[in-house]
Amino acid sequence: TSAAPTQAGNAPSASAPQAQHFGRSSGPAEPTDLWGYFWRGVTQNYFNFAGRARRKEYWGYFLFWVVSLLVIGGIGLFADNEMGNFDSSVSAAVTVGLCGTFVLATLLPSLGMTVRRIHDIGLSGWLYLVVLIPTIGSLIILVFALIPTQARENQWGPVPAGVRV
């Protein structure tokens, strides 16, 4: 009967973390790196406004979003410079086009990620609309993003995987 405590979850086992990941998410296991959060946000959770997103998921997504935007902007600036767009009346057309396309392509995943983050602190996703208030709205969303995850189940779902309860 010495194996009973391990089976009951009182002692850590090799398969316990993996089983917890599958039980708490609707798809494959939770990502373990920040890139995984970004990639899952733009692929599997493209149009997902339900559930919760912990701080690590939110900031991992937006870290790689900003890095991607900077890389795309750099490519656009290089292309514009090589095409001589800065010497004519058409300035930075490629840069604006590439960056605009990226922002439009990631608009829904970014909105969904922020709504899930607001759910994670126990508030309604409709509070995202405060972003429409100039300056102050963005600061309020920043504060929401910095608040720790609720370490208990709320109306938007169970505690996300990886959060210590």
Count Cα atoms within 13 angstroms, Cβ side, for 29: 10
Q: Is residue 60 part of a domain?
A: yes
pLDDT in tens, 4-56: 444 444 444 444 443 333 334 444 456 667 677 778 777 887 788 998 988 98
Which three-class secondary structure state does DSSP give residue 78? helix
Percent of the chain, pLDDT > 90? 47
pLDDT on residue 102: 96
Q: Is residue 24 part of a domain?
A: no
- Per-residue pLDDT band for 118 (boundaries 50, 70, 90) equals very high
Which residues on adjacent β-strands are paired with residue 154?
157
* Residue with the larger pLDDT of the pair 165 and 65: 65
Q: Is residue 158 part of a domain?
A: no
Which residues on adjacent β-strands are paired with residue 157?
154
The region of weakest confidence among 22-36, 40-54, 110-124, 129-143 is: 22-36
Q: Phi and psi for 106 in degrees, rounded to 5?
A: -105, 10
Q: What letter would DSSP give residue 157? A: B
Mean pLDDT for 143-157 is: 92
Chain-centroid distance of CA 48 in Å reads 11
Question: How many domains are there within the chain?
Answer: 1
pTM comes to 0.73
Range of the domain at 62: 31-146
